[in-house]
Chains A and B, each alone.
Chain A
Amino acid sequence: MLRSRVESKNLIPAVATATVMLIGLTILGCQRPETTDRKAVEPEGHPQAQAEAVPIKGRAQMWSENCMRCHNIRDPKSLSDTEWQVALHQMRVRGNLLAEEHKGILELMQAGN
């Protein structure tokens, strides 16, 4: 019993650090203009896309660096534009992709279709 109390106390700094970090990220993230809203993702050539899209080289680099971290990179044509939206949403969560990476890779996959 004594040992369990001691070990539980050892975890208090970790839990506290995690809590503070999460609160900070939530506040910071909510103050920042979001990339999460995918309305900004328009088809290639669309004026809005040209204005806001990540540069092609940057997108390709994001694609290879992030996807290859776990698996081989797949052909953009293997999924439709809509399917890529869903697949990359899952990868954003599972692979902890940055919002900009999520947006950039999605743009690249849709442009490759």
Chain B
Amino acid sequence: MLIRPKTTLVVIATLWMLGGGIALGEQPDSDNVVSREEYDNLKKEFEAFREQMLKTNQNRAPAKMDQETQEYLQYLETELGVVKDLALASQQGSTKFLVTGYATAGFTDRRGENSTFDAGFNPIFLWELNDRLLFEGEIELELPGDAETETNLEYANASYLVNDYVTVGAGKFLTPFGIFNERLHPAWINKLPDRPLPYGSEGGLAPVSSTGAFVRGGIPVGKTMKGNYAFFLSNGPELNIGDVAASEAGSLKFHNNADSNNNKAFGGRVGFLPIPELEAGYSFMYFQAQPDGFTNVDVVLHAIDVSYIRDSDALGGVIDARFEWVWSDVDDATYDADGSLGFGPTRFNNSRDGGYAQVAYRPSKNGNKVIKKLEGVVRYDWLNNPNGAPESFDEERYTCGLNYWLTPSTVVKAAYQMDNKDNGANDADAFLVQAAIGF
């Protein structure tokens, strides 16, 4: 094969160029060469830069948290909006309603009678229509011994606050005569299982409730003393003529929802508190009680009451002392005039009186958690009836009780009552137990 010189030169040149190119490519360029030292320096710089970047990222974390917080706040705002909507949907409006009241369970073992359990439930409905207007109503549900559940409307009235000193109202209301019926009769407040004789629901001397209108209020007297008043005009009670039981002749029927004559009852109570712990009051009530067929029978009731309640460190607890005395003066009348009722005709001086004195002590400051919830109670009550009245007798009782307060409005009461009647009536000593819950 013939190799031409020109071709040879081209090949040589090409090989040289390739070889030179290769050689030039492998040869370090002084501008681009990185020495080991430079490399290490660059590595250090890189590490420093890396650390700086990490720090920067760490510094940026709060910004990330802020964003999360903002998202959470937005979530909360949304949820709050939902809750607000729910609250607005369930809002009762401007009027306010409250169901309160009390319930009882009791046991009575009285001499001459069968021992028995009993129960009661007294729901109270309060409806405040505005800051001045209030409706209150109490329904009394009882279990009488020989009948279905008995329902009584204890009270139902509306009152209006005229100004700081005057409140007016109308309806059926607890009679502001004495303090027991109006303030102390609820079972969780009354410190003994039963009522004192002058305020008994049967045979008592004063009305539990009245139907009519009232005006009342409290007034400051000087800087530390104060007074209060309550006056009412209502349907008057009616004279009991003894048509159901001769022993009731001359007593008063206070459960008189409709007046038996046009003469209304007028009464009230005025109280004075010289010191906060002491209150004294005077009550009166006047009405005519004659039923059909009787001439006018005027009735005047009077009562005084004194209360002293003190929570004392020196006494180690609370002492609660109360005293009330009621007088009833009913015009003389002739009962069973034609003798058809079998006990007349009879006429007698129809004056009665009764009262009670009660002292309770609770060592509420005692360190023992059981003793501090105990409360001892002693009460003496009496009722003097007219001597000439049919089957009449005077009565006095001594009652000793021990209470245990489970909560401030829940109490278990146990008491023993010694009864003493004159005119040959049987004494009726009794053992009484009652649990009461105020809610």
Contacts and interface: CB of A to CB of B under 8 A. Distances in A.
A87 to B, nearest CB: 6
A29 B189 contact: no
Interface string A66-105: 0011111111000100110111011011111111110000
Nearest to B161: A36
B323 to A, nearest CB: 15
Interface string B115-139: 0000000000011100110101000
Interface size class of B (residues with CB under 8 A): 35 or more
Interface class of chain A by DSSP: helix
Given A4-B298, A37-B131, A87-B126, A25 B165 contact: yes
Interface in B217-252: 217-220, 226, 228-231
A37 B182 CA distance: 26
A52 interface: no
A57 interface: no
A69 B298 CA distance: 34
Interface stretch (B3-11, B24-32, B94-102): B94-102
Given A29-B165, A34-B164, A64-B311, A7 B131 contact: no
Given A25-B217, A70-B183, A90-B134, A34 B296 contact: no
A112 to B, nearest CB: 14
A11 to B, nearest CB: 5
Contacts of B128: 85-86, 89
Contacts of B359: none
Contacts of B184: 70
A35 interface: yes
A7 B286 contact: yes
Interface stretch (B76-84, B143-151, B271-279, B393-401): B271-279
A85 B131 CA distance: 9
B131 A36 contact: yes
Nearest to A22: B215
B408 interface: yes
Contacts of A4: 288, 296-298, 331
Interface in B171-206: 174, 182-184, 186, 188-189
A30 B230 contact: no
Given A68-B311, A82-B96, A83-B98, A96 B134 contact: no
Interface residues of A, number: 52
A46 interface: no
Contacts of A93: 134, 136, 159, 161, 167, 169, 216
B333 to A, nearest CB: 12
Nearest to A68: B309
B219 A72 contact: no
A29 B134 contact: no
A60 to B, nearest CB: 12
A96 B298 contact: no
Contacts of B163: 26, 29-30, 32, 34, 36
A48 to B, nearest CB: 16
Contact of B164 (A29, A64, A74, A94): A29
B215 A97 contact: no
Nearest to A70: B183
Contact of B231 (A22, A28, A35, A37): A22
Contact of A86 (B98, B276, B298, B409): B98
A99 B279 contact: no
B300 interface: yes
A14 B284 contact: yes
A69 B230 contact: no
B162 interface: yes
B180 to A, nearest CB: 10
Interface string B312-338: 000000100000000000010000000
Given A26-B163, A32-B164, A70-B183, 5 more contacts: A3-B298, A30-B162, A32-B163, A86-B97, A96-B218
Interface of A: 1, 3-4, 7-8, 11, 14-15, 18, 21-22, 25-26, 28-30, 32, 34-39, 61, 64-65, 68-75, 79, 82-83, 85-87, 89-90, 92-101
14 contacts: A4-B288, A14-B284, A22-B166, A26-B162, A68-B311, A73-B408, A86-B96, A87-B98, A90-B136, A93-B169, A94-B182, A96-B271, A97-B218, A98-B164
